[in-house]
C-alpha cells in the first residue's frame, strides 16, 4: 500500500505553531551585545507576541535558466522547524519548496499536471535547512535567545545568529545599517549552483532593498538573493527578487 504524501497545505498547518506565552520587552535582550540589542529592539515592538512562526505572501521575479519570470507565493516559516513556500511562476508553473521534519524537497509541475522538477535527499535537506535559517530575519521574535539562538557581534555593524536546526549548524551573518536595520544577510549555503560541480558550500546573500512593519515586527520586505555573494559571480548567481505583500505572526488569534 502506497503511503499518501502530505500536501503543502497540510505541512504548512503543522508549521504554523502558536506563539510562546508572554510578549516582547527589553528583558528579552539582557546580556546581549549592544549591536544585537539595537537590532532586535528596532525589529520588535514592545508588547509583540513571542511568535516563532509567520504566514506571509510575496511577489517578485525568479530566474529560470537565463530568463526572469514573475511569481506569486505564500509561505509559512517557522525558523526552528522549517518552511513551506508554495507558488506560481510564469503563470503556469505551480509547486512548492519545503523543509519539514528534517527533510527538504522541491516539487513543481506545469499547469499542475506535468512534473517538471522534483528533488529531495540529504543534500537538498541540508541546503533547505540553511535557507530556513537565513529567512529567520522575517520572524525576528524567533531569533530571541529564549529560543536557543546565540548572538555574537564583531563590531557595531556585523552580527551572527547561531543555532541548530535538526542536524544542521547554522551561522547566519547580518550586516546592519546606521538605523540598526539589517541591510544584508550572508551565510555559506550548501548547494550546487552550477548544476555541474557537485554539492558544496558557496557564499549566499540576501540584499535588502525595502522594509515594512507588520504585526509589531519591522522586517526586510523587499530584496534580492542569490549565490556567490561578494564575488565577481554575484551577477550570475542572483536568482530571486521579492517583495512581501501580506504578513501575519502566528499567535493565539491568527492561526
* pLDDT, tens digit, 9 for 90 and up, residues 97-111: 999 999 999 999 998
DSSP three-state, residue 128: helix
Contact, 238 vs 62, CB < 8 A? no
Residue 227: strand pairing partners = 204
Pick the CATH number of 8-26+34-249 from 2.50.20.10, 2.40.30.330, 2.10.260.10, 2.30.30.60: 2.50.20.10
What is the pLDDT at residue 1? Answer: 44
How do residues 110-131 score in pLDDT, each as one tens digit?
Answer: 988 899 999 999 999 999 999 9
Q: Band of the pLDDT at 8, cuts 50, 70, 90? A: confident
pTM metric for this prediction: 0.94
Residue 220: strand pairing partners = 211
What is the pLDDT at residue 253? Answer: 55
- C-alpha pair distances (Å), 46 with each of 26, 27, 28, 86: 8, 10, 10, 32
Contact, 35 vs 159, CB < 8 A? yes
Contact, 5 vs 34, CB < 8 A? no
Residue 92 has pLDDT above 80, yes or no: yes
How do residues 36-50 score in pLDDT, each as one tens digit?
Answer: 999 999 999 999 999
Closest by CA to 207, choosing from 185, 227, 177, 231, is 185
Residue 171 contacts by C-beta under 8 Å, 6 or more apart in sequence? Answer: 160, 161, 162, 187, 188
What average pLDDT score do residues 12-21 get? 83
What average pLDDT score do residues 64-89 get? 96
What average pLDDT score do residues 226-255 get? 91
Between 152 and 15, name the one with better pLDDT. Answer: 152
Q: Band of the pLDDT at 229, cuts 50, 70, 90? A: very high
Residue 2 has pLDDT above 70, yes or no: no
DSSP three-state, residue 149: coil
Q: For 31-86, give the DSSP string.
A: TS-HHHHHHHHHHB-TT-EE-S-EEEEEEEEEEETTEEEEEEEEEEEETTTEEEEE
What is the pLDDT at residue 254? Answer: 54
| Grid cell at residue 14 | 503543522
What average pLDDT score do residues 2-18 get? 74
Amino acid at each position: 500500500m502506497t503511503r499518501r504524501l502530505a500536501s503543502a497545505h497540510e505541512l504548512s498547518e503543522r508549521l504554523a505553531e502558536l506563539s510562546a506565552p508572554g510578549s516582547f520587552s527589553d528583558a528579552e535582550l539582557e546580556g546581549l551585545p549592544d549591536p544585537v540589542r539595537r537590532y532586535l529592539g528596532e525589529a520588535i515592538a514592545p508588547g509583540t507576541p513571542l511568535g516563532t512562526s509567520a504566514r506571509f505572501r510575496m511577489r517578485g521575479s525568479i530566474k529560470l535558466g537565463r530568463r526572469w519570470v514573475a511569481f506569486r507565493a505564500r509561505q509559512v516559516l517557522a525558523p526552528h522547524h522549517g518552511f513551506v513556500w508554495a507558488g506560481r511562476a510564469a503563470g503556469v508553473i505551480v509547486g512548492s519548496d519545503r523543509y519539514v521534519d528534517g527533510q527538504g524537497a522541491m516539487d513543481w509541475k506545469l499547469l499542475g499536471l506535468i512534473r517538471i522538477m522534483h528533488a529531495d535527499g540529504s543534500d537538498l535537506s541540508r541546503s533547505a535547512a540553511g535557507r530556513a535559517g537565513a529567512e529567520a530575519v522575517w520572524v525576528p521574535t524567533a531569533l530571541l535567545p529564549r529560543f536557543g539562538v546565540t548572538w555574537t557581534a564583531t563590531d557595531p555593524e556585523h552580527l551572527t545568529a547561531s543555532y541548530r536546526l535538526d542536524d544542521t549548524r547554522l551561522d547566519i551573518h547580518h550586516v546592519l545599517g546606521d538605523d540598526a536595520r539589517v541591510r544584508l544577510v550572508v551565510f555559506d549555503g550548501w548547494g550546487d549552483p552550477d548544476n555541474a560541480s557537485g554539492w558544496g558550500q558557496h557564499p549566499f546573500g540576501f540584499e535588502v532593498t525595502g522594509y515594512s512593519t507588520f504585526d509589531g515586527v519591522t522586517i526586510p520586505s523587499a530584496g534580492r538573493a542569490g549565490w556567490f555573494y561578494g564575488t565577481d559571480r554575484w551577477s550570475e548567481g542572483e536568482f530571486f527578487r521579492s517583495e512581501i505583500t501580506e504578513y501575519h505572526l502566528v499567535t493565539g488569534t491568527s492561526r
